Structure formats: structure tokens, C-alpha cells
Amino acid sequence: MNPLFKHLSADTLSALENQLTIIDDTSDEELFDFLLEELDLSAEQAEAAIALRPQYMGRLFLNGNSPLYQDTPVYVDPAAGFIFHGQLTEYQILTIYRMLLASRHGTRLKLNAHECAGLNNDGQLYWTPYNSLQPGTVYEVYGFEHRQFEDGHWQGETLAQTTAAIQHPEFID
């Protein structure tokens, strides 16, 4: 997060992000005045926020992963899927897995040739082994562990493999 915004309250950050996502004909000068008067931002904070405004146009960001919060934001393009630059954090990857699975109750997300992820009935994310020759086989499920994540990917996978599961998701019934 930009150090200028680090000490703002959650409510102020939420209101600021709402203003940045509004697509209307409000000029930067009008937005600047609003940020000073209504959100009590400093002039330096308001200018930094307005500089982020073009990055919000026509994009849907993962919660907490917009330019306001991240140097490498993650957003959804309806035609191209998830868009990001650089390596994703463990939190970002798990958030994307949840998003991909949330609207597909009962399906699993193929992570690689031998593993998949799913959401249990309580909405908790898990991973489990997978065998394409025996797709109906039930295996033990495991939670994702922080120590299994390194340099933008899961142990036993390359960065490209971890990223492929997000950029080109395959679902298993």
C-alpha cells in the first residue's frame, strides 16, 4: 500500500475506492475538492489518489487488490480473465481460487495434473489429489499451508503452472 494511505481508516479507504471506481464526468479538480472536504485527505493524499484514477477505469479488482492497496493490482477482464503483472501473493491466489469456485458449487478447480482445489460446504478452501483416470475417486482433503508457498507458486509447481490454473481455469465435476 502506498505509505500515504497506510494510516487511513478502513471506512475512509472504502469511500476513497468508491470514488475512484465511479465512472462519471467529475473532473479531477472536483474530485480533489471532494477528497479534501468530505474525506479529510491531505492535498498530497488527494493528488496521489487522483493519479490512480485511470487505473480504475473499466476494471473490476479483487477485494483489497486494487491500485489503492497493491503495487501489482489484480483485476478481472471479462474477455481475458484475471490480469496481473508480476508475481501474485499467496493471499491473491487463494482469493482467486475462491472466486473461481464460488459460483460453481460442487465443482473443483484443476490446479495441475495431479491436484485440484474445491470449497467445502462451509465455504472453506481445500486441495486434494486428483487422478484423471479415476475422476470420481474421493481422496483426503488438505488445507493450503503458508509454508508450501514460495516465490509466487506452490511447492512442486512452477510459477507458470500455478499461474495457468488461474489464467486458464479448468473445472472438474
Write the CA distances from 32 to 3, 60, 62, integer angstroms. Answer: 19, 23, 25
Say if residue 96 is in the same domain as residue 38.
no
Q: Which of 44, 166, 52 is nearest to 110 (CA)?
A: 166
Q: What is the pLDDT, as a whole number, of residue 1?
A: 76
User: Does residue 1 sit within a domain?
Assistant: no
Q: Which of 142, 167, 168, 173 is nearest to 155 (CA)?
A: 142
The Cα 19–Cα 129 span in angstroms is 44
Q: What is the dihedral of CA 26, 31, 32, 38, to 10 degrees?
A: 150
Say if residue 92 is in the same domain as residue 55.
no
Q: What is the pLDDT, as a whole number, of residue 31?
A: 92
Range of the domain at 151: 87-172
User: Does residue 64 sit within a domain?
Assistant: no
Q: What is the pLDDT, as a whole number, of residue 23?
A: 65
Say if residue 153 is in the same domain as residue 108.
yes
What does each of the 173 residues of the chain score in pLDDT, given as a tens digit?
A: 778 898 999 899 989 988 888 767 788 999 999 999 999 999 999 999 999 988 887 777 877 778 888 877 888 776 777 777 777 888 888 988 988 898 888 899 999 888 999 999 888 999 999 888 887 777 899 999 999 999 889 888 888 889 888 888 899 88
Domain count, the chain: 2
Q: What is the pLDDT, as a whole number, of residue 109?
A: 93
